[in-house]
Amino acid sequence: MSALELRGAVVRLDGRIVLDRVDLGVAPGEIVALVGPNGAGKSSVIRALLGLISLEAGEARLGDQPVSRLSSRARAERAAYLPQERRIAWNMAAVDIAALGAPFLSGADATRRAREALALVGATSLADRGVADMSGGERARVLLARALVCEAPALLADEPIAGLDPDAQLLVLDLLQQRARSGQAVLVSLHDLTLAARHADRVLVIDRGRIVADALPTKALSAERLRETFGIRGRWIDAPSGPLLDLDRRQG
């Protein structure tokens, strides 16, 4: 059974259809990358799964229940969320921000788990610093820790590596991969196709609100799909560290 599922989902925003009969599922123990051009509908998929935007048709499900029937608390118990937006309104200490990911634990237990999560993301030294005094990359680590504190069956991350240096990007994706291996269902939206192919069990390609490919990474990102959806020509090379997308610069 899928931990995350959309069935025939249609979403309309400002009079424009942004999701058009989308079907997808993510099973426990699986990390799935959602890729597509800017404006294709990646964030809308994630927000629809969490019940943050309304469906005009179809259904979103977290586990065995429709999202529309779940309370806010029940949704939080079933899915951790790492949004694309990294702005934090209050200058709270990093450990207090991370502890917000465990609202159902006592204060001491939440703080302990928050410090453990900060250590995982390489941010132990930031624990007692105010987030307003941090760089964007440091805040990104704190917010990732907040998502990792939650032990929900599913984790959804919207562009979690945007703006991070290469080392931090790999750290984030390795941690998400570890979460999947521990049994969570992980859905992550990405722009970097090579990193998607190397870290995901499966890749979903969305284009103009429709899922146009759902397969093993290099099959979903075939030469034809790269050309039709992304407007690029390229081929996959088997490198020692995993698949590598080689672009044909001469043909565009």
Q: What CATH number does residue 18 fall under?
A: 3.40.50.300
Q: Are residues 188 and 211 in the same domain?
A: yes
Pair (91, 146) in one structural domain? yes
Reported as a single tens digit per residue, the pLDDT across 104-116 is 787 789 999 999 9
pLDDT in tens, 182-232: 999 999 999 999 999 999 999 999 999 999 999 999 999 999 999 999 999
Q: Give the amino acid at 179.
A: R
Are residue 137 and residue 14 in the same domain, yes or no?
A: no
Do 143 and 162 sit in the same domain of this protein? no
Is there a domain that residue 243 lies in?
no
* Shared domain check, 131 and 14: no
* C-alpha to C-alpha distances, 216 to 55, 164, 250, nearest whole angstrom: 28, 26, 28
Q: Number of structural domains, the chain?
A: 2
Q: What is residue 4's predicted lDDT score, i.e. its pLDDT?
A: 97
Residue 206's domain spans which residues?
Answer: 1-63+153-221
In angstroms, the CA 56 to CA 7 distance is: 12
Question: Which of 102, 135, 150 is the C-terminal boundary of a domain?
Answer: 150
Report CA-CA distances (Å) from 103 to 45, 99, 158. Answer: 25, 7, 21
- Which of 150, 219, 154, 149 has its CA nearest to residue 187? 154
Instruction: Give the pLDDT confidence score for residue 252 in this predicted structure.
Output: 43
For residues 54 and 161, state if they share a domain.
yes
In this structure, are 175 and 186 located in the same domain? Answer: yes
pLDDT, tens digit, 9 for 90 and up, residues 115-146: 999 999 999 999 999 998 898 888 889 999 99
* pLDDT, greater one: 30 or 89: 30
Q: Which of 95, 118, 150 is the last residue of a domain?
A: 150
pLDDT at 124 (0 to 100): 94
State whether 139 and 158 are in the same domain. no
What is the Cα–Cα distance from 161 to 211, expressed in whole angstroms? 22
Nearest CA among 120, 165, 183 for reference residue 146: 120
Residue 241 lies in a domain: no
Give pLDDT, residue 146. 93
Residue 249 belongs to some domain of the structure:
no
Domain boundary residue among 150, 173, 195? 150
Model pLDDT for residues 59-88, shown as the tens digit of each residue: 999 999 999 999 998 998 999 999 988 777
Residues 135 and 167 in one domain: no
Taking alpha carbons only, the member of 118, 42, 49, 107 closest to residue 79 is 49
